Structure 1
Amino acid sequence: MTQATERAVPPPEPQDVTAPLTAAAAFLVLRVGDGPDSDARVRSTLAATSDLVKNVRIGADGAAFHCTVGIGHRVWERVVGGPPPRELAPFREITGASHTAVATEGDLLYHLRADSTDLIVRFEMMLLDSFGDTVTTVDETTGFRYRHGRDLLDFADGTANPDGAGLPAATLVGEEDPAHAGGSYVVVQRYLHDMAAWRGQDVATQEGIVGRTKFDGVELPDAEEGQKSHKTLCTITDDDGVEHDILRDNMPFASPGRGEYGTYFIGYSRRLWVVETMLRRMFVGDPPPLHDRILDYSTPTTGCTFFVPARPVLDGLDD
């Protein structure tokens, strides 16, 4: 008689965390109201996300449309129930000698990626109609793909993103927190650029700040001591020397008539501490007070942390 072998349970289906970059994107941050009927309606709308996405895709003529929903610590118990993900906490403000990573409010994040902005607008109209007066909009930023994936500082963005099997391994929670497996932590910041000051620097200076060549994005050697580049400060290794990646889906945004140019940073990670360590190194410096010099030209105006639950969790919130 042979002993039965136990089959491994597959992880829950994730949301569209690892969907590819598209021509357009939007970042919608909402605050949930405290009215007596807010929680039930919010849960119902969150659970209907897949249906809203389907409605948009039906009329999209095959164009791509992806939606990823994050939920903040303040409303986790009210909306989802049960213990929150192990690392989930409000965004922690980081104050360095010269610059500050500000913390701002936000309970829900909708990260929308599409081949065209009209699909995003259609989704947001239906979504906000469904929420009604149970939420208020804290931030709504629409981004666009610029020069084959460059930011408005004119450097290729996301070149250090994981790919292949390394992509889900870096972004999706696993056996370390089984109750929340298939989910992902996500941090967002809205940066405004001082374009005149940046353009006043020569190419060699810009490349030294970023840590990559401007033309083809080739990594420059790490500094052995003293001032480190943005690329080096954002490379995170643990005590065992293991490097930990995050997925950046940053997008440029602009309003030339108002003189506003920026980058919306969005970083997905299996481990929140990786993103937090990266930001501390940027704003405090390594060693202090040698902060990331890119902050002399780019100022964050928002900062929020969310957790993106696995799809079955989101779909089942109205059960």
Structure 2
Amino acid sequence: MPTTPPESQAVSTAVTRSAIFLVATLADGDDHAATVRAWCADVAAVVRAVGHRVPDGNLSCVCGFGSQAWDRLFGAPRPAALHPFREFGAGERMAPATPGDLLLHIRAESMDLCFELATQLLGKLGNAVRVVDEVHGFRNFDMRAMIGFVDGTENPSGREAVDFTVIGEEDAGFAGGSYVIVQKYLHDMAGWNALPVERQELIIGRKKLSDIELDASVKPSNSHSSLTTLDDDGQEVKILRNNMMFGRPGAGEFGTYFIAYARSPAPIEQMLENMFVGRPPGNYDRLLDFSRAVTGGLFFVPSADLLEALADRSGPTAGGARPTA
């Protein structure tokens, strides 16, 4: 007898004009863990309450949990592919792992909606968490990234977006969920802007003005688009990016908040390895000569149904013994 699949969180929501990204760590103590568990049942209602005030504001929030946080809060069973963020590269060209137990990805057409929702959700958490990274992002005109190229051109859409981002029968207990990887990049805009446009296009693998992909005969194998294109038996494997610009011109800070959703972290990790290590090793993404990753985290996004149900978990022994890995 067919069953209705679990409802996903707002993973595949269209790109909005504004976003707030919050990464927090859990405070010590069983009472703080209980506060976070209870909060899980309130998230959807708070989003509805704030969003109802501006119906056309497209307000949404995606909530994810890191590997250690999942073990501490919910125990077994746990999502099959959830693990700590894997670092790639070395030295000046590295994708570092940074602390993060809870991720909130808040989106809306205006920053006031994002700000109000962030305030309400964090207010309910109180001192049970400590925010370790907060970024207020905005969508640039023409859908262009900080470096001037159109961002997210190859994003899947519609049914394809669901297929590439939502877990199915491969991990049936967590169907309707997703994985998300976030990184904060800072750019050397003076160095980047000093490059001729033709050189920038070879680094990215696309024309800057038209966004048309360069012909294979001229596109370098270490271009950004080459290294982030994955093939599985002739079929392209896609991820869903929802990147946003951020910065403080007065402080000389110009950045991109990279956020990517997938039904497994493996394709995103493969793209990062290709970029930071190279394919083959040494043939790395030259965009990293001008862009530096300063944060990195991997989170599991439960389905909307599971997020609410997690409030009833009793801690690490729920559903079985606490995992050791």
Same fold (TM over 0.5): yes
1-structure distance, mates of 2:50, 2:184: 27
Q: Name the counterpart of 2:256.
A: 263
The offset of 1:148, in angstroms, is: 2.3
2:302 equivalent to 1:312: no
Cα deviation digits, residues 204-223 of structure 1 (max 9, x gap): 00000000110121111336
SS in 1 for 2:12: coil
Q: Deviations over 1:285-311 (max 9, x none)?
A: 111211100000110000000010000
Instruction: Give the SS at the match of 1:285.
Output: coil
> What code does the residue aligned with 2:169 have?
E
- Give the Å deviation of 1:44: 1.1
1:242 Cα deviation from its structure 2 partner: 2.7
Contact 2:20 2:135 in 1 (8 A): yes
Shift of 1:149: 1.0
Counterpart position of 2:19: 25
Match of 2:2 among 5, 8, 22: 8
Equivalent pair of 1:96/1:289 in contact (CA under 8 Å) = no
Q: Which moved more, 1:65-74 or 1:124-133?
A: 124-133
Contact 1:30 1:106 in 2 (8 A): yes
Q: TM-score, normalised by structure 1?
A: 0.94
Q: What is the alpha-carbon distance in structure 1 between the residues aligned to residue 6 and residue 175 of structure 2?
A: 7
Give 3-state SS (helix, strand or coil) of 1:263's partner.
Answer: strand
Deviations 1:182-224 (A, max 9, x none): 1000000000000000000011000000001101211113369
| Cα distance in structure 2, aligned partners of 1:317 and 1:83 | 12
What is residue 281 of structure 1 aligned with on the other side? Answer: 274
CA contact (8 A) 1:77 1:83 kept: no
Question: Percent same amino acid among aligned pairs?
Answer: 45
Residues 155-179 of structure 1: CA distance to partner in whole angstroms, max 9, x if unpaired? 0000010112211000001111101
Equivalent-residue separation in structure 2 for 1:97 and 1:74 (angstroms):
26
CA shift, 1:80, in A, is 2.9
Residue in structure 2 matched with residue 102 of structure 1 by the alignment: 96
**Rounded Cα–Cα distance in structure 2 between residues aligned with 1:130 and 1:297:** 39
Report the equivalent of 1:62: 56
- The answer to whether 1:228 aligns with 2:222 is yes
**Helix, strand or coil: the match of 2:183?**
strand
Kept after mapping to 2: 8 A contact 1:97/1:289: no
The answer on whether the counterparts of 2:247 and 2:255 sit within 8 Å (CA) in structure 1 is: yes
- Asked if structure 1 preserves the Cα contact closer than 8 Å seen for 2:221 and 2:227, the reply is no
Q: One-letter code of the match for 1:33?
A: A
Q: Deviations over 1:70-115 (max 9, x none)?
A: 1110011232332221111010111247511010010010001111
In the TM superposition, 1:142-153 aligns within 5 A as 142-153=136-147
Q: Is the 8 A contact 1:28 1:141 kept in 2?
A: yes
* Paired AA for residue 168 in structure 2: G
User: Partner residue of 1:190?
Assistant: 184
What is the one-letter code of the residue matched to 1:273? A
> Are residues 300 and 306 of structure 1, via their aligned partners in 2, closer, same or farther at CA, if it must alter by over 3 Å?
same
State the distance in 2 between where 1:10 and 1:205 align. Answer: 51
Measure, in 1, the Cα distance between the counterparts of 2:175 and 2:30. 31
CA–CA distance in structure 2, aligned partners of residues 237 and 39 of structure 1: 41
In structure 2, the gaps of 5 or more residues are 313-325
- C-alpha separation between the residues in 1 aligned to 2:302 and 2:71? 13
Mean CA deviation greater in 198-207 or 28-37 = 28-37
Native 8 Å contact 2:106 2:118 kept in 1: no
Distance in 2, matches of 1:184 and 1:297, equals: 30
Partner Cα separation in structure 2 for residue 225 and residue 121 of structure 1: 42
Which residue number corresponds to residue 181 of structure 1?
A: 175
Are residues 1:302 and 2:302 paired?
Answer: no
**Structure-2 separation of matches of 1:248 and 1:215:** 21
The answer on 1:87 being equivalent to 2:81 is yes
Q: Does the aligned pair in 2 maintain the 1:226–1:287 contact within 8 Å?
A: no
Tell me the SS of whatever aligns to 2:126: helix
**Shift, 1:125, TM fit:** 1.3
- SS class of match (1:148): helix
Query: Are 2:253 and 1:253 aligned?
Result: no
SS at match of 2:119: helix
C-alpha separation in 1, matches of 2:218 and 2:279: 12
Q: How far apart in 2 are the matches of 1:290 and 1:98?
A: 15
8 Å contact kept, 2:242–2:259:
yes
- Counterpart pick for 2:165 among 143, 168, 171: 171
Larger CA deviation: 240-249 vs 100-109: 240-249
